[in-house]
Structure 1
Amino acid sequence: MSSVTYDSRGGIAEIAINRPDKHNVIDHSVVEGLNAAWRRFNASDDKVAILTATGDKAFTAGANLRDIPHDFWRAVPGVGVKVDKPVIAATAGIVIGGGLVLVQFADLAVAADNTVFSYPEAKVGYSGGLISSLAARIPHKLAMELLLLGGSIDARRAYEIGLVNKVVPVGEQRAAARDFAVQIAANAPLVLTMLKRFVGDVLPKGPSEAAAIARATVEAVNTAEDYHEGIKAFLEKRSPVFAGR
């Protein structure tokens, strides 16, 4: 069973964390699956992506603390993979740690009424720091309350502070997200891309976010076809033939 699924219909990609038996916990396979899904989304004709999870009890219980995926940043759209097309999060149940990070980097969010958002890493003694960008998306004091106390907020409170766009009965979150996606997919792609990029430039980036984006950029160069061609040409003592990819 794939840890992350990708379904495409009508120009809309539905990407789902698919480990319901483990509360959709984020392990190395989920990181790799999400990274691959964002790359597939970029290369596809899909215009909008819905990020969700299998089941209604947990969007995700957060990182697997027995084997923490320290490269979680690779799974985050706009951080590990540059994504210029709109992303909508659709949540239900618990949204812990890295799950909250994924929601904060989505462009829109729909929450089932049983959703509970939590960032308990201060209680655990572990954090990758990407959560700091939450303060650019919701009021500062409320972000700090979540981060420093390690508490939680329900779906209604998340709506009130602007973390989610809509709260719906449990089980209806995917349909509501798809309603948003259908409307977005009917709009001009070039305008959507421009506006998403411009908004990304307006939003402040925390240190971990900036560092992860830089690392992803360097990684893309050092794993490209041109990298392999350059090394091969050097060893073969010939001029390289670069393809720009």
Structure 2
Amino acid sequence: MDQLITLPELEELLDVTIANYHATPHDGLNGRTPLEALQLAIAHQHAPVRTLPHLLRARLHQLQPVHLCTVRGSVARGVAPYISLYGARYSNEVIQRTSGLNGARIRVYPNPADMREAWAYLPNGAELGHLAVLEGWRYSRHTIRLRKHILRQRRLGKLRFAGEQDPVHVLSEAQRRLRKRTRKQATAIMQASPQPPGDGLDPASSAGSPTATPPTRRRQTDAVVPVDLGDLKVQNR
């Protein structure tokens, strides 16, 4: 799929747009910018503005909905511990080396903007670290909305992928083939449709038709009849 702008460039443009908005005066704020209005509100309020501690700013992902996932794996079959989330497996070194977690339920916070990563915690709040998605989902950055769309297409039988295949690339190729086939179908329908009368007719076929009437031309010897309009003399042709 051809892209006119990449996702990192779009994120940079979004940051610039938000910064310009905060520095632009607004009529609803009496000609002040949002930053100036915030400074004025802080100066006239006795209650301090609540801010997030620096220690918790690294855990902004906890503002997302939590998912309770079961750690699965099998030592006998050689399957390292992992958790399943939205049709994909996630794991990290901590989970894989901790055999006692097998069968335990942990708290998982995925990144909705980049479903290739997630964060895991024990029920008591102990951090298990950053999780990475496994298999083909790890190749292309994708949102939770795109993940759900791809999984739905696979359930409907419109997409097929497994193992190390990149589902995002598979979807892109399927859409490219669909657009190409749609253009071909539209061209075939246009070519098969009847041509409208007029300029679309073949001059040769029109000339050979027995019902065709050749155009008549006025001979130079035809008399020109003057029309009396008082002082004006106008010839009708």
Q: Same fold (TM over 0.5)?
A: no
* Greater helix share, structure number: 1
Q: Which has the higher contact order (CA 8 A, sep 6+)?
A: 1
Task: Tell which structure's C-alpha radius of gyration is larger.
Answer: 2
TM-score bracket for this pair, using the shorter chain length: under 0.3
